[in-house]
A and B are shown apart, each in its own frame.
Chain A
Amino acid sequence: MDIALKVWRQKNSQTPGKMVDYKLSDISPDMSFLEMFDVLNEDLSHKGEEPVAFDHDCREGICGSCSMYINGRPHGPQTGTTTCQLHMRSFNDGDTIVVEPWRARAFPVLKDLIVDRDAFDRIVQAGGYVSVNTGSAPDANEILIPREVADEAMDAAQCIGCGACVAACKNASAMLFVAAKVSHLAVLPQGQAEHQLRAERMVAQMDAEGFGACSFTGACSVECPKSISLDHIARLNREYLGAKLASNNA
């Protein structure tokens, strides 16, 4: 198939960028979207032009590296799918595809389609863990966790940290990302000791990073490659409000 591309090109975070047009022919529908970009990049390299820089690593939908805003949607038209798992069969011969980086104040562009997502790491550092030192754990089966609780925790825990939720949200809000971690640990008994502090600190860090507020549009959950539910955002709200009203923290 023949494809026309409009791709955001930007040399570095200091230089303004622009959309650049490319044309590709003989693209196989069985190619993944990133393989199509590989083809483009090989073409560009042979012409002596700089290839398009984009984040990618595992190419099996789990590492959360890939992050393209494709035809107006994070990770493209297929729901529950990362960019690397999107295939060209989702497009038609002759299509024009617009590809941009995630756009958010907290995710500055580093080059072309690569953005800096360190803000997510800092949010986790603010409290996305259970404080347990290595070696001090009791036998694993001493903590009995009903299957449906473990399942609910897993539903939240499977967040891949790609940032599609932020990219999709009209407010560039990171609520689904934060909620997934807070919720994962809040439903498990292991997370109870710190559940209030965790919610308060992670939300404070989220705000400090410059993410927007939640407008409950649901875009995040629809675009989330792991389809993480808005239930978790409700739980985060509950956790945060409960902590603010009842905890001893300042």
Chain B
Amino acid sequence: MLDVLEEKETGTKLESKVPEGPLAEKWAKHKFNLKLVNPANKRKYEVIVVGTGLAGASAAAALAELGYNVKAFCFQDSPRRAHSIAAQGGINAAKNYQNDGDSVFRLFYDTIKGGDYRAREGNVHRLAEVSVNIIDQCVAQGVPFAREYGGALANRSFGGSQVSRTFYARGQTGQQLLLGAYSALSRQVANGKVKLYPRTEMLDLVIEGGKARGIITRNLVTGKIESHSAHAVLLCTGGYGNVFYLSTNAMGSNVTAAWRAHKKGALMANPCFTQIHPTCIPVKGNYQSKLTLMSESLRNDGRVWVPKTKEIAEKVRKGEIKAKDIKEEDRDYFLERRYPSFGNLVPRDVASRNAKNVCDEGRGVAPTGLAVYLDFADAIKRDGRKVIEAKYGNLFEMYEKIVDDDPYETPMKIYPAVHYTMGGLWVDYNLMTNVPGLYALGEANFSDHGANRLGASALMQGLADGYFVIPYTLGDYLATIGPADKIAVTHPAFKEAEQNVQDTIARMLAIKGEKTAEEFHRQLGHIMWEYCGMARNAEGLTKAKKMIQELKKEFWSNLRVTGTDLELNPALEQASRVADFIELGELMVDDALNRNESCGGHFREEYSTEDGEAKRDDENYTYVAAWEYKGPGQPEKLHKEELKFETVKLTQRSYK
């Protein structure tokens, strides 16, 4: 099935299909060269879209508008609940409405640099180009972005950039963008071009004749296993941050669809590239089920600091003194001190790592020792409480609800937490995986953020892929195969896949062991966070690999799933997802072990500069590591896609 990958002894070369020519003309040229499906023929094609977040909902809506018949699936009870909804801060676009020197090229450059030179130039430039169309489209849909008094759109700044290009709707930008995409999707449901399958989870991909032909799903209410066939399958299933158990992802966010596609042949690229977001509410107790993000936009006005000395920090932890008792000269505004030009607005990976370092030095401020202050006192003094309230009111409220502490009075306590995964299914410039007819969009693919994503770029990428890339690139594939190239759900390939899914479920239910999926998940999360989290080293990773393998063995012999398969059974859903997380965890460790360099979110302690910054190895690792599944218990095979930089010069990232 991987005939696109011409096998050689040393692994294969992956073809990114980024078109030749000057960077700024690649996408325009490519669009012209792509085949078109004539309007009358579009209705003869069926497309499956799995996931209804920003990427999925926008893709489903845009494709249906073109005339394709779309089936949209989500595990939530409504497409509107996909986790894109929780994105707070904003969405970037190179509009240069602020006249502050922004341009498509600057957004491209910031993103490539922010990603520590591990993303494709062509993809990223395209992303920057279409970013401006996204804002237009969303405004036309009625997304209530923040405005100036005169009625023009307002912007704010985000980490990793020195211009203001982030559009926002209070602290609920993701919600408003998703509801915009959801409304476009709903319109197509009403038009009869999209059929919705809520509370339906994809459990397998069907491949026949080397092409993606459809999916196997489980109806989460009745438990029924069903087959759906189509000309193409789009996985818009988000990231896999929940492999760490505790993350800012939703409880249901999972890797299952992507992982099952991976097991059917799709390559998983750069799985170890995970983003640890610096500003989250710290962990409080061992019952904790998830972590809550405090938008990066807070770093516009909040100052990050810890006490200068361990002794003072110790007193804070014991509750003997409070933040406001600490004198100005006893405070260390460590980001401002180390990175004077970007200050508190350094990229996420840098901010997170520095927070971890000061806590490791014993200067953390929560009883656990794992928290730094994010202080608004100066901003409130400068702008007044009203202004701060207007900007961040809902975030402050949320913080107070969770922590029971008033951030207007006492500084917030924050700590880094897993937030986003830059890695994902390998895709070419057309967003197609190595499996013909199988596409991956949004966070589910690996393509645009390299080793670290800049703030407010996830929303941009999800919508770029869905609204402005896939409508062009999918047509090229469909026109090539023709409307007749589809198999029925009665085909043995579907029956076999259905049987496999049923067998796996039956196997889980039959174990009747002692430990719940929740317990396995928690255990996996501990291993991943400890050894494959903010800082990694070869020794720890090797240890982690062994621990994960043991955990996997125990999972399949000691799992307890209550209830049956033919009913609504959240315990079964969870077990099925945790099984995939465990396998993914092992691959992440392999990937992290393979990459003997530090870049972006992947920080290998062995590879750092003298002042503790990430040290890349451009000579040996300027490639995308794409892994091929080789069967149960077999090591995965590494394929490399060389990253060619024609426009930017690789330098050490500096935010000083």
- Interface residue ranges, A against B (CB under 8 Å): 11-12, 28, 30-32, 34-35, 38-39, 41-42, 44-46, 48-51, 53, 55-65, 78, 80-81, 85, 87, 89, 110-111, 114, 116-118, 120-121, 124-141, 143-147, 149-151, 153-154, 157-158, 160-161, 184-185, 188, 190-191
Task: Looking at the assembled complex, report how far the CB atom of B367 sits from the nearest CB atom of chain A, in whole angstroms.
Answer: 12
- Interchain CB contact (< 8 A) of A188 among B79, B142, B153, B284: B142
- A157 engages B179 (CB within 8 Å): yes
The answer to whether A59 and B401 touch (CB under 8 A), given A128-B186, A134-B184, A134-B468, is: no
- A139 engages B136 (CB within 8 Å): yes
- Interchain CB contact (< 8 A) of A129 among B83, B141, B284, B518: B141
- B136 engages A124 (CB within 8 Å): no
- B148 engages A147 (CB within 8 Å): yes
- A150 engages B147 (CB within 8 Å): yes
- B76 engages A57 (CB within 8 Å): yes
- Interchain CB contact (< 8 A) of A85 among B85, B147, B402: B402
The answer to whether A129 and B251 touch (CB under 8 A), given A161-B80, A190-B140, is: no
- A133 engages B65 (CB within 8 Å): yes
The answer to whether A58 and B78 touch (CB under 8 A), given A140-B136, A158-B172, is: no
- Interchain CB contact (< 8 A) of B85 among A12, A39, A58, A118: A58
The answer to whether A111 and B140 touch (CB under 8 A), given A60-B398, A87-B402, A134-B65, is: no
- B562 engages A121 (CB within 8 Å): no
Q: For residue B403, which residue of chain A has the nearest CB?
A: A30
The answer to whether A141 and B471 touch (CB under 8 A), given A53-B568, A118-B198, is: no
Tell me, yes or no, whether B650 is within 8 Å of chain A by CB: no
Report B208-243 residues with CB < 8 Å from chain A CB: 221
Task: Looking at the assembled complex, report how far the CB atom of B3 sits from the nearest CB atom of chain A, in whole angstroms.
Answer: 34
Tell me the complex Cα distance, A110–B196, Å. 18
Other A-B pairs beyond A59-B250, A59-B251, A137-B139, 12, CB < 8 Å: A28-B285, A30-B284, A41-B518, A44-B562, A51-B570, A59-B290, A60-B86, A85-B398, A129-B141, A132-B140, A146-B149, A157-B142
- A129 engages B145 (CB within 8 Å): no
| Chain A residues with CB under 8 A of B404 | 30, 87, 89
Q: Could you pull out 22 A-B pairs where Cβ atoms are within 8 angstroms? A: A30-B285, A31-B287, A35-B288, A38-B287, A55-B77, A60-B290, A60-B292, A60-B293, A62-B85, A63-B81, A63-B85, A78-B401, A81-B401, A87-B401, A117-B77, A121-B196, A125-B190, A129-B184, A137-B133, A143-B140, A147-B151, A150-B145
Q: For residue A185, which residue of chain B has the nearest CB?
A: B142
- Interchain CB contact (< 8 A) of A146 among B58, B83, B147, B516: B147
Tell me, yes or no, whether B144 is within 8 Å of chain A by CB: yes
B residues contacting the other copy or chain, number (CB 8 A): 84
| Chain B residues with CB under 8 A of A11 | 567
Task: Looking at the assembled complex, report how far the CB atom of B586 sits from the nearest CB atom of chain A, in whole angstroms.
Answer: 26
| Chain A residues with CB under 8 A of B622 | none
The answer to whether A50 and B562 touch (CB under 8 A), given A117-B78, A133-B65, is: yes
- B78 engages A128 (CB within 8 Å): no
- B516 engages A45 (CB within 8 Å): yes
Tell me the complex Cα distance, A28–B404, Å. 14
Task: Looking at the assembled complex, report how far the CB atom of B403 sits from the nearest CB atom of chain A, in whole angstroms.
Answer: 9
| Chain A residues with CB under 8 A of B187 | 125, 129, 131
The answer to whether A134 and B62 touch (CB under 8 A), given A58-B85, A63-B250, A154-B144, is: yes
Tell me the complex Cα distance, A110–B518, Å. 23
Report B176-198 residues with CB < 8 Å from chain A CB: 176, 179, 182-184, 186-187, 189-190, 196, 198
Tell me, yes or no, whether B146 is within 8 Å of chain A by CB: yes
Tell me the complex Cα distance, A44–B567, Å. 18
| Chain A residues with CB under 8 A of B482 | none
| Chain A residues with CB under 8 A of B21 | none
Tell me the complex Cα distance, A87–B281, Å. 15
- A130 engages B290 (CB within 8 Å): no
| Chain B residues with CB under 8 A of A146 | 147, 149-151
- Interchain CB contact (< 8 A) of A121 among B142, B149, B198: B198
